[in-house]
Amino acid sequence: MSEYVRAAFEHRPQARLPRGELWIGTTVFEERQMEDDIDAHLGLCLEMGMDLVSVPIGEPRASHYEYRLFSPVDIEKAARSDLFVVAVLSGPLQRVVEKRGLRQALEDVGRDTDEVKEVLREEAQEIGCLIDMCTERGAGAVVLADDLAYNRATFISPTVFLQLLHPLYRDLVDKVHHREAYAVLHSDGNIASIAPDIISSGFDGLSCQQECLDLLSIKQTYSTQLTLLAGLSCELLNANSLTSRRKQQFVEWIKVLSQGGGLIISSSSGLHSSRMLLNARRLYHLADEALNNGDDTVQWLDSVPKRTQTGKGV
């Protein structure tokens, strides 16, 4: 199953689209009367037919958070499964926001760039250490989760992004690639104004809110440079029923996003209820049917350049 994920990052042909989620909420396991631990995550991913298991890394947090945070040690157990292992780490800005709150963090960025630059650099150093710990234990990809925007625009200007975050992203991506793993950025909101700069940092993949961003334009512009973790909207996952119209729209969406490879079926929100699990299963089935019924969109060209495990063309 892990080979499906590698094929997506390298834009190679595969029997079906890979699937997986960066977050699976604690509520899912509570509804099943199960402990939210790494064994439960592995079991659920296998039951759902997912190809990757994500392991969000961090210090235990208050119970009102929607998902469990794990230790890098948990990656070792995950790596012994047939699933592709993804380590999810809070990015530099997200770590500052978690400590100071969003409003205070953004005020600090606007008031004292030099001080914040040093704080972000220190956070990035800690992230670098986590990258080493996770990849040496078997993580094949590292996701930096940095919410950079709300539904209309970015929290910081493109100029500030280039000044403060772009150099840190570039260094962290280089560290991930040095460990022969793939680097992915996750952000909520409308990141259109800084998307080119994010991608120029060297990320192999992008996970973002498809409701806030023109993913088709991203797909057309960056083609084999970028793998998208996308396809499942919150609306579809939370729907009481998948109507014929919703199913048709989803199938058309997946056909376009999957052209040329580079797609992992995923949401930006994660799965947080039994209803979301059920709808995800149904949507997986629809995607398999749509792309394996003789449709040309699954027949990818041999001319697509292969990529090494670090995302570089060969």
Please measure the distance between the N-terminal and C-terminal CA atoms of the chain and give it in whole angstroms: 24
Does residue 148 fall inside a structural domain? yes
Domain count, the chain: 1
Does residue 200 fall inside a structural domain? yes
Does residue 153 fall inside a structural domain? yes
- Dump the DSSP string for 97-153: HHHH-HHHHHHHHHH-HHHHHHHHHHHHHHHHHHHHHHHHTT-SEEEEE---B-SSS
Does residue 304 fall inside a structural domain? no
Does residue 311 fall inside a structural domain? no
Torsion, CA 194, CA 65, CA 20, CA 208, rounded to 10: -10
Does residue 313 fall inside a structural domain? no
Does residue 310 fall inside a structural domain? no
- Encode burial over 263-280: b for 16+ CB neighbours within 10 A, e otherwise: bbbbbbbbbbeeebbebb
Does residue 65 fall inside a structural domain? yes
Q: What is the pLDDT of residue 293?
A: 58
Question: What's 165's domain CATH number?
Answer: 3.20.20.210
Per-residue pLDDT of the chain (314 residues; tens, 9 = 90+): 689 999 999 998 888 999 999 999 999 999 999 999 999 999 999 999 999 999 999 986 644 468 999 999 999 999 999 999 999 999 999 999 988 888 888 888 877 778 888 999 999 999 999 999 999 999 999 999 999 988 888 988 899 899 999 999 999 999 999 999 999 999 999 999 999 999 999 999 999 988 888 898 998 888 888 999 999 999 999 999 999 999 999 999 999 999 889 999 999 999 999 999 999 999 999 999 988 854 433 333 233 333 333 443 32
**Which residue range forms the structural domain that includes residue 229?**
2-298
pTM: 0.89
Closest CA to 51 of 257, 266, 250: 266
Q: What is the pLDDT of residue 260?
A: 86
